Amino acid sequence: MTERGRLEEAFLLAAELHRGQQRKRSGIPYLVHLMAVAALVAEYGGNDDQVVAGFLHDAVEDAGGARVREMIRERFGDAVVTLVDGCTDTDEDPKPPWRPRKEAYLERLRGETDAVRLVSVADKVHNSRSIVAALRAGENIWKHFQGGKDGCLWYYREILRVAGNGWHHPILDELARTVDVMHELADAEDA
């Protein structure tokens, strides 16, 4: 399969798996987030497998668990499954409690490859940009997150710290800038 064919197939599979899903608070189709993550991965030098994983990074967690993992393996191979698994904080339904799940993900991220870190951080860059946009619009964004304001702020700082431990990549600078703005805007809410 050509690179273009793999990317198109990943996009179409993501559209199928996440059909009807929407982003928290905005009602924007979830596929837009997946497109943004794949684009960030590509813009920051990701290879074909990483871009495919950008489209599919939430598929196991939010669109079918083990069954979807095997579908991804069949269509895209073990390397893509490894990347997707590296971005997945659970494949259980219902999901375990938020804080222990996030702490376990952070612990796992410490040992992940640079390839996984790129896809994971691209996801967090897009998520944090969305939070910043909502805060700038004056929205009460925190009510949409299980961890609330404090948990969300903690989690993004920890992602930045853990992902950047021993890995130096320009996408970390982008995440740091966005997380700083998120904290500034959150602090301004309290002032």
Catalytic residue among 48, 49, 58, 61: 61
CA distance 53 to 81: 8
139 labelled catalytic: no
150 labelled catalytic: no
Catalytic residue among 62, 112, 123, 174: 62
Q: Nearest to residue 182, comparing CAs of 153, 144, 154?
A: 153
Helix axes 170-190, 114-136, angle to 10 degrees: 30
Cα distances (angstroms) measured from residue 180 to each of 41, 44, 147, 154: 21, 20, 18, 12
Catalytically active residues are: 61-62
